[in-house]
Amino acid sequence: MTAEAPETKSVSGRREIFRMEHWWGVVWVLPSILAVMLFVYGFIGWTARVSVSAWKGLLPDYTFVGADNFTALASDPRFHIDIKNTAIFTVVFILGCLAIGLGLAILLDKGVRAEGFYRSLFLFPMAISFIVTGVVWRWLMNPAQGDRLSGLNLLFDAVGLDFLINKWYATPTWGIAAVALPAVWQMSGYTMALYLAGLRAVPESLREAARVDGASELQLYRRVIMPLLWPVTLSAVIILGHISLKIFDLIIALAGKQVALDVPATYMWTTTFDGFFFGRGAAIGMVLLVSVAVLVVPYLWFTLRQDRA
Amino acid sequence: MKTKKPFQFLVLIVALVMTLAACGSSTTDTTAASGSSDTTAAPGSTDTTADSGSTDTTSGGDMASQVEVFSWWTGGGEAAGLDEMIKVFAAEDPDIEFINSAVAGGAGTNARAVLASRLQANDPPDSWQGHAGQELIGTYVAADQIEPLNFLYDEEGWLDVMPETLIPLISKDGNIYSVPVNIHRANVLWANPTVLADAGVEMPTTLAEFFTALDALQASGMEAPLAMGEQWTSMHLFETIMLASMGPDGWDGLWDGSVAWDSAEVTQGLEDFAKILDYTNADSSALAWQDAGQLVLDGTAAFNVMGDWQEGFFREVGAVPGTDYVWAATPGTEGNFQFLSDSFVLAKNAPNRDAAIAWLTVAGSNAGQDAFNPVKGSIPARSDADRSLYGEYLLSAMDDWASHRVVGSLTHGVVANDSWKSEIDTAVGLFLLDRDVASFQSALVAAQAASG
């Protein structure tokens, strides 16, 4: 529903027609505007209210406690782990997706045979839900050692790459980086699609001009193409970044409920629905909202301004 | 360009199939009986409940002819046991229609979230399932959502057939709030007899003997003689070790406030727990409780501490009691029965109060309990059950239930309310990471302050 409004705007070539049908358009999108007002902004407001309340237990308690829930989070050791985990996850996830996505896109752009096949192949993991990915990778990354090796560790053992055998997501402190791997696997195809579109938009004449000037292939990519792909990279970082901040289903499917691999979204869920700390849960929700907004709002503002110009 | 179309089509089809599959499974899960999908899908609309009910009963009945029972029993022995009990109910009260509102997923987490939203919308089911004890009392009595059942206990004479030490654990201020239908034991040590014999180790009965046995097994080359699973199973281990270290009075005192969490007794218990963790497997966070049990059957580990549903798993995989596995009370807890129980409550303002009481009467009756428990693999709360229906382990548990001192489980909701339990769960999780007893203890003190 939320996607409808920007869509109508982006079809800029038909502005004239839209002016004529302007009022009808408003009527048609009115239900979805109302629904968004209520179900998105209304509930954001309600969550904000709960986050400054003392609500603990089954029934609502709207006693105002100021920023107490937020200051408690600031000194909550579990929330510190959440932030550390989110930071590691985000870095591994975004860098992994960008590197693999760009690599695949360049290879495809070089004119591989059956390009459509490979494109679909790499994009395919995106069609799978994070839950399925999590369950499968939970098996693949089985951390058991010794004679109980299985999954990827067993594969490493079989092909003689024993030094690669590791404890994956059971590794102390860095386990969350292993959890980011399935996310990279799932989303790098999408990043590839973004980059591929970007590469296709680079005019052939620019490449040829660079080659005529004596640039090597490496220089061509570094000096000419990469700078042109900067907006694509920015979009990819924004999209991947907000996925990473909100990650929940993958963690639940892969790690279950354990503090070592906890992230803010899982803490929010368990503390609210297992522990009935609604005030604290709402506070975590607000922190998540603000951190995503810090990432997304400047981008939206920037693109909207560019559109208008 | 043409090549991409078939693939797009394929992606679409796969996506469609996945969506359909998702819808299909969720409906079959939630609708264990007729008319329940409506009620669970649309919390907040009392009309839906009544409508779907009356359209189902073609014979036409008034409101009192149905009872809606809410649970998270949607699969395995639990759902089968519930079905058996529903059959008993149908035979005893043929004119009351049973509406089974079961919500699948997350070991009850999803169901409790749905229940919470229904109660907040003032649309309670007539009766619902919950772990007996503070999980029910702390959440639903505190929110004034359920009725005391003392009158039913008096009428049915249940006080005479249930252990005396059980009653205070499921009561508050003298009011009993739920009808336990089954009893599980938390403090059970499972062991592989072959491994023990090979290492020349006896089944330990005290904590000191337990440590000696674990040392001997490690010396014989077994890296992790005590199998443990994911985080909640560490909390399960924690509660049995604390019971062993503090004794039943100390353990009970933690929950009624007579023993302080910053006392030296607690410190000792935490140190015992810290020590026991050194004998556990490094990949515990990746294992479910069944996987940990399997390690014992395989002989990779010698011991596992888990509730007696582990026996159900052992039997399911074809292991033979006495040969493939043996059991005893967790070392240091002999004579204590650390219990947990699924129980049913009576909703305040239940739409069909009389029918709900009829259901609770069946749930607490011998016929109901003997229908449910042999299928579920648990023992009845009543001591006058038909012993011919139960297997070797369950018979030993029934004897202990009747003679031991009953204490409550933490992980399974008897001694602490949900808020307190979830704070302790966080503290245990943090302790697994840093193994710092002092900060663990202060986190436990804070947990009591935040929610006790």
* Pick from B18, B231, B283: CB nearest A143: B283
Query: Structural domain boundaries of chain B?
Result: 22-184+343-406, 185-339+410-451
What's the CA gap between B12 and B5, in Å, rounded?
Answer: 11
B54 pLDDT above the threshold of 70: no
Using CA atoms, how far apart are residues B442 and B452, in angstroms rounded to an integer? 14
Q: Return the pLDDT at A68.
A: 95
Question: pLDDT per residue over B56-83, tens digit each?
Answer: 333 334 445 899 999 988 877 888 889 9
Shortest CA distance from A132: residue in chain B = B18
B35, pLDDT greater than 50: no
Tell me which of A16-30, A190-204, B173-187, B194-208 is least confident.
A16-30
Q: Would you call A170 and B421 a contact, using CB atoms and an 8 Å cutoff?
A: no
pLDDT tens string B11-30: 555 555 444 444 434 333 33
Q: If you search the block for the tokens 């860098």, which residue do you land on?
A: A95
Average pLDDT, chain B: 86
- Contact residues, chain A, for B8 at CB < 8 Å: 120
Query: Is B261:B441 a contact under the CB 8 Å cutoff?
Result: yes
- pLDDT band at residue B47 under the 50/70/90 scheme: very low
- Taking residues B189-202, report their average pLDDT: 96
Phi/psi for B365 (5° steps) reads -85, 160
Residue ranges in chain A assigned as alpha helix (H): 4-10, 15-20, 22-36, 43-51, 68-74, 77-109, 115-123, 130-140, 152-158, 175-200, 204-212, 217-219, 226-228, 230-245, 249-255, 264-269, 278-308
Q: What is the pLDDT of residue B252?
A: 95
Return the residue of A nearest to B298 by Cα: A148
Structure tokens at B7: 């693939």
Tell me which residue in A146, A148, A275 faces B419 most closely, judged by beta carbons.
A275
Please tell me the predicted confidence (pLDDT) of residue B139. 86
Check: CB of residue B329 under 8 Å from CB of residue B187. yes
Q: Which two tokens stand for residue B444?
A: 């436990």
Distance CA B428, CA B445 (A): 13
Residue B190 pLDDT > 80, yes or no?
yes
- Chain A residues closer than 8 Å to B145 by CB: 58
Question: Do B185-339+410-451 and B22-184+343-406 fall under one CATH topology?
Answer: yes
Burial class of B154 by CB neighbour count within 10 A (0 to 12, 13 to 18, 19+) = exposed
- State the best of B146, B423, B426, B444 to mutate against chain A, taking most chain A CBs within 10 Å: B426
List pLDDT tens digits, range B398-437.
Answer: 999 999 999 999 999 999 999 999 999 999 999 999 999 9
Closest CB from B3, B142, B285 relative to A260 = B285
Residues B95-120, mean pLDDT to the nearest whole number:
85
For B345-366, write each residue's pLDDT tens digit: 999 989 999 999 999 999 999 9
| For residue B87, pLDDT beyond 90 | yes
Does the pLDDT value for residue B9 go beyond 60? no
Shortest Cα distance, chain A CAs vs residue B180, angstroms: 22
Q: Which structure tokens are listed for B434?
A: 């840093």
Class of domain B22-184+343-406: alpha beta
Tell me the pLDDT tens digit for each residue of B277-299. Answer: 999 998 898 898 999 999 999 99
Tell which phi-psi region holds residue B5, choosing left (phi > 0), alpha (psi between -120 and 50) or beta: alpha
Instruction: Judge whether residue B40 has pLDDT over 80.
Output: no
Write out pLDDT tens, residues B126-171: 999 999 999 999 889 988 999 999 999 999 999 999 988 899 999 9
Mean pLDDT by runs of 10 across the 309 residues of chain A is 46 60 85 94 96 91 95 96 96 97 93 88 92 93 84 91 89 92 96 95 91 90 91 92 94 92 96 93 96 90 80
Query: Higher-confidence residue: B3 or A69?
Result: A69
Report the residue of chain A nearest B281, measured CA to CA: A144
Contact B232 A257 (CB under 8 A): yes
Mapped onto helix, strand or coil, the DSSP state of residue B386 is: coil
Residues of chain A in contact with residue B7, where contact means CB-CB under 8 angstroms, are: 116-117, 119-120
> Which tops the pLDDT comparison, A8 or B231?
B231
Q: In this complex, is the C-beta atom of A244 within 8 Å of any C-beta atom belonging to chain B?
A: no
CATH 3.40.190.10 fits B185-339+410-451, yes or no: yes
**pLDDT surpasses 70 at B375:** yes
